[in-house]
Amino acid sequence: MTLSSLAKLVPSVDWDLYVHHLLPSNSAKHPSQIVVTSPDYIAKVSKLVGTETSTRTLQAYLAWRVMFAFGDALGEDIRGPIRRLNSKITGTNPKSVKPRWDTCLDEVNEDIGFLAGRYYVLNKFGGNAKEKADEFVNSIKEVFLARLPKLEWIDDETREKAVQKVDELVRKVGYSDVTPDIMSPVSLSDYYADLEIQNDTYFENYIKARTFAVEEEWRQVGKKPDRSKWLMNPQEVNAYYNPSFNEIVFPAGILQNPFFGSNYPDYLNYGGIGVVVGHELTHGFDNMGRHFDAKGRLVQWWTNETAAQFDEKAECFVKQYSNFTMVDVNGEAIHVNGRLTLGENLADNGGLGEAFVAWKERYDSDKESKRYNNVRLPGLDQLSPEKLFFVNFGRVWCNKVTPAQAKKGVLTDEHSPGKWRVNGAVQNSNHFAKVFNCPVGSPMNPTHKCELW
């Protein structure tokens, strides 16, 4: 939208003043257009702010948001009440306090994450980890492409463009090597040149770092997007698919145990990081990612018929996951939101199937030469490599949460709870049912399965 059209939609906010305040001082002019991701929501906010809320209430709310945002960086007299509030929300013990070193490490990651990432990469990401991760991406990509012709619900026109999207998929593994180059002290120094850190001014550093981050974001206004830039630090245990750039990104932090081990047998690595690779690739074709083409443009590249088929099949997952429940603080069942979690559920299911097929094809073709590592684990002779693939898939999503935190996750997180990320996906897996000999009609092998990618 243009600023003037946004002003008409949301008249309660002085957008011209807001944008002017955030733009760098050397910026020549305001952007001609800005992206409004949720116009319905922001229009309702305008009404709430403009006519339905008193000035005193708004002032109190804004003051509270400032306190909540900055309270953790202040003294115990401020941190304590906020910690007690968060404990109520998550059901944890308010007396349980993270050691100070842990808090400070979090702050280093938040403020100068790329700089800290250099030392993490030097210490933890060596050998052939990058090459092996590329192998996983290649093998799973090939499985996805090989499956496309077998999906009868996709017509030829859409299938051809889906192949193009996979072919043009950009992959980033390990760490940033351009903006900045993690391995170059000079590049890092240039990147953080405008951020001044003092040894004895913790709160000032906190403010400066957040100001630096906002200014860094707004410096991009009017410029061509930097496709080399990473949205995560190399030490993060996470991964992502960026639809605007059609890229999948795997920081060095997730290329560690239990997701990936250089000495792990392939069946464990494919059940861990392999599923993550398939998960991120499938995000390019979930209910949100599918709207972006091979170049990352938000265009309609699906035919109407294929789009309708997709929606029909996706609805199966919505219904399935909406039947899953967690127990809240009162011992009552609270249902997973199958529509909120749809994209992640599609990615979990697609990633699991793609990773298993990629590993099994590699395993079956390698029985004689033993080029790949699929040695059996001592003491686990009763579990075949096929079974251990699924065991490790379950292992990487093991977690323990309080009932209050579980409820908060169900209400707000686009991911299903860990239990259902695993059990939901294996319920739909014919491979799992065959490997574990699950009777047809049993909870882990229902008669009707949801399937898309």
Give CA–CA dist 376/265, Å, rounded: 8
Task: Answer whether 277's CB lies under 8 Å from 136's CB.
Answer: yes
Structural domains of the chain, count: 2
Annotated active-site residue 348? The verdict is yes
Give 160's Cβ-side CA count (13 Å radius). 4
CA end-to-end distance (rounded Å), the chain: 35
Same domain, residue pair 53 and 155: no
Residue 115, domain member (yes or no): no
Same domain, residue pair 74 and 140: no
Residue 412, domain member (yes or no): yes
The domain that contains 376 carries what CATH number?
3.40.390.10
Same domain, residue pair 312 and 406: yes
Same domain, residue pair 22 and 170: no
Same domain, residue pair 295 and 352: yes
Provide the b/e sequence for 279-298 (b: ≥16 CB within 10 Å): bbbbbbbbbebbebbbebee
Residue 447, domain member (yes or no): no
Which entry of 181, 280, 286, 386 is annotated as an active-site residue? Answer: 280
Residue 108, domain member (yes or no): no
Same domain, residue pair 407 and 276: yes
Same domain, residue pair 283 and 341: yes
Annotated active-site residue 177? The verdict is no
Which entry of 111, 236, 286, 348 is annotated as an active-site residue? Answer: 348
pLDDT of the residue at 26: 72
Same domain, residue pair 152 and 270: yes
Residue 376, domain member (yes or no): yes
Q: What is the dihedral of CA 202, 205, 211, 213, to 10 degrees?
A: -110
Strand partners, 170: 247
Same domain, residue pair 138 and 35: no
Q: Which two tokens stand for residue 266?
A: 């392939």
Residue 216, domain member (yes or no): no
Task: Answer whether 250's CB lies under 8 Å from 277's CB.
Answer: yes
Same domain, residue pair 258 and 368: yes
pLDDT of the residue at 86: 87
For residue 53, the enclosing domain spans 3-81
Mean pLDDT by 10 residues, the chain (453 residues): 93 90 77 88 92 93 92 90 88 86 93 96 87 89 96 96 96 94 96 94 94 90 90 96 96 94 93 96 97 95 97 97 93 95 98 97 85 90 96 94 90 95 97 97 94 95
Of 432, 426, 421, the C-alpha closest to 399 is 421
Task: Answer whether 72's CB lies under 8 Å from 79's CB.
Answer: yes
Task: Answer whether 356's CB lies under 8 Å from 266's CB.
Answer: no
Residue 194, domain member (yes or no): no
pLDDT of the residue at 21: 87
Same domain, residue pair 33 and 150: no
Same domain, residue pair 316 and 394: yes
